[in-house]
Amino acid sequence: MPVMNPDTTPHSPGSAGAVGDANGANESWPEDFSKAVESMHAAELRDEISLGTIRPPQRPAPFSHAVGLEVAHSNEDSDNVPVDSEGDAFGRLILLHSPAAEEAWEGTMRLVAYIQADMDDAVASDPLLPDVAWQWLNESLAETGAGYTNLGGTVTSTASVRFGEIGGPPRAYQLEMRASWTAEGIDLKSHVEAFSKVLALVAGLPPEGVAQLGAR
């Protein structure tokens, strides 16, 4: 399972700095961007979800920062947050900042989200699954009070059939969500919390405070 760069530290403003800054020195960050990054790492997440800094894309905006979230397992080292995952639900949330304000964004802070999760065949066969998943995102943003504009994206449900000597189950089903929106303001704590709620729902986690049958 690929993991994030070991020199990054979960739950702290990341070392991924302004685009083009090889050292990731945040002294070069605009004040608004620094505060936005700090607020992302202040998000209050449920115990099963881990968060850490990952490498952001290098060119979409003058400044960028990215976090990875994954449904954690009790026997895993919480200091290693995978960038990708095999057989698990995981997500990436990327902050793009353009101080000049991009016309298409209608703002200076754009969030780009990606979630991938393996699904049970009974759930994956539901033709309304993409609609339900998109509704989860809208509802989670509303529940956490995350102000936003210009929300758009796609939800894709896929089925894979394995043949021959390739490893893995004969059939596998996945859900992928790609979304982006412009944040209103620079406090992004609620946006990360909303994103984590969607990840929990896609992963099939029980409501908080409710234990799964057979859990230890």
> Is 20 inside a domain boundary?
no
Distance CA 15, CA 66 (A): 10
Distance CA 65, CA 129 (A): 30
Q: What is the pLDDT of residue 18?
A: 42
> Is 19 inside a domain boundary?
no
> Is 9 inside a domain boundary?
no
Q: What is the domain count for the chain?
A: 1
Q: What is the pLDDT of residue 196?
A: 97
Q: Which of 66, 38, 69 has its CA nearest to residue 54?
A: 66
> Is 207 inside a domain boundary?
no
> Is 127 inside a domain boundary?
yes
Domain that holds residue 55: 26-202
Rg over alpha carbons for the chain, rounded to the nearest Å, is 18
> Is 76 inside a domain boundary?
yes
> Is 4 inside a domain boundary?
no
Q: What is the pLDDT of residue 180?
A: 97
> Is 2 inside a domain boundary?
no
Enumerate the β-bridge partners of residue 156. Answer: 176
- Written as tens digits, the pLDDT of the chain (216 aa) is 333 333 333 333 343 444 433 324 367 889 999 999 999 999 999 999 999 999 998 778 899 999 999 997 544 444 444 444 444 799 999 999 998 877 889 999 999 999 999 888 778 778 899 999 999 999 999 999 999 999 999 999 988 888 887 777 778 889 999 999 999 999 999 999 999 999 999 998 888 766 554 443
* Structural contact between residues 64 and 40, judged by C-beta atoms closer than 8 angstroms: no
Q: What is the pLDDT of residue 167?
A: 74
Whole-structure pTM value: 0.78
DSSP reduced 3-state for 113: strand
